Amino acid sequence: VTETKTAARSSLTRERVVDRALAVADADGIEAVTIRRLATELGVTPMALYWHFKTKDDLLAGTADRLLDDVVVPDGTGDWAADLGAVLGALVAAMRPHPQVAPLLAQRMLATPTGLALTERALASLDTAGFAPEPASALAMQALRSAIAMVTGDPVDDASRSGEDHDERLRQKQALLASLSPEKYPTLATHAQAMTWCGADTYVEVGIDLFVAGVRGLAADLDR
């Protein structure tokens, strides 16, 4: 795991630090990305990172911003509902490879050009849908949070730990659901399999469709 490349071993840069941070977060969870661990993996003193980042929060912000680099801001098509779905889809696609980092994006949406562009598009869609500024803003924020929620995955097992920990928790969850009394929790018993399947794809699709459908419903209520 330690830095072994002879080429470009010199010159610590913000980019290389963020690369490592992303790798560590993906492998062992966001709580594992630590100044000291990144330093040792980069073959450097912990304090070396403080030349490139003012603080650990700064480092995490930089890591979050990296996700936004991959976002392709969709063009407007005139169909506000489709546009809103496209913004959500773009955001979700960018966050999905790094679910551990996704929650940090909440604080970066108004602090980054891409984040601002996405927010602008979302608000524009909601504006043409007929929402006043206040509900439009609330909906835009909820959109952001929903997107994060979709990629963060199964709420029950937090999906942070990889490998065996993950499997064991999933087994525990299944055992728990199987042990429930069908009289007290009839529907839950029926849905035991579905609640543990962890199919991220359907989860994301349902999430985006749900949000757009919700906004559509609220927009329709405005006209009455």
Partner DNA sequence: ACCTGAACACCGTTCAAGT
| Closer residue to a copy of itself in complex, CB, 13/193 | 193
**Residue 58 touching a copy of itself (CB under 8 A):** no
Query: If you ran DSSP here, which 8-state letter would residue 182 be given?
Result: T
- By beta-carbon proximity to a copy of itself, the closer residue of 9 and 145 is 145
| DSSP 8-state assignment for residue 75 | P
Which tokens in the block code for residue 15? 């980019």
CA distance linking residue 68 with residue 85, whole number of Å = 17
The amino acid sitting at 4 is T
Closest distance between DNA and the C-beta of residue 3, in Å? 11
CA 95, CA 100: separation in Å to the nearest integer? 9
Q: Which of 137, 161, 166, 170 binds a copy of itself (CB under 8 A)?
A: 137
Q: How would you label 188-200 residue by residue, b for 16+ Cβ within 10 Å and e otherwise? A: eeeebeeebeeee
| Cα distance between the two ends of the chain | 61
Q: Which stretch, 8-16, 112-120, 123-131, 208-216, contacts DNA (CB under 7 A)?
A: 8-16
15 binds DNA (CB under 7 A): no
Pick from 4, 44, 39, 46: nearest CA to 20: 39
Q: Looking at 36, 167, 202, 222, which residue binds a copy of itself (CB under 8 A)?
A: 202
Residue 80's identity, in one-letter code, is: W
Which range touches DNA (CB under 7 A), out of 49-57, 78-86, 89-97, 103-111?
Answer: 49-57
Binding of residue 214 to a copy of itself (CB under 8 A)? yes
Binding site for a copy of itself (CB under 8 A): 106-107, 109-111, 116-117, 119-120, 123-124, 127, 133-142, 144-146, 148-150, 152, 154-158, 173, 176-177, 180, 184-188, 190-191, 193-195, 197, 199, 202-203, 206-207, 209-218, 221
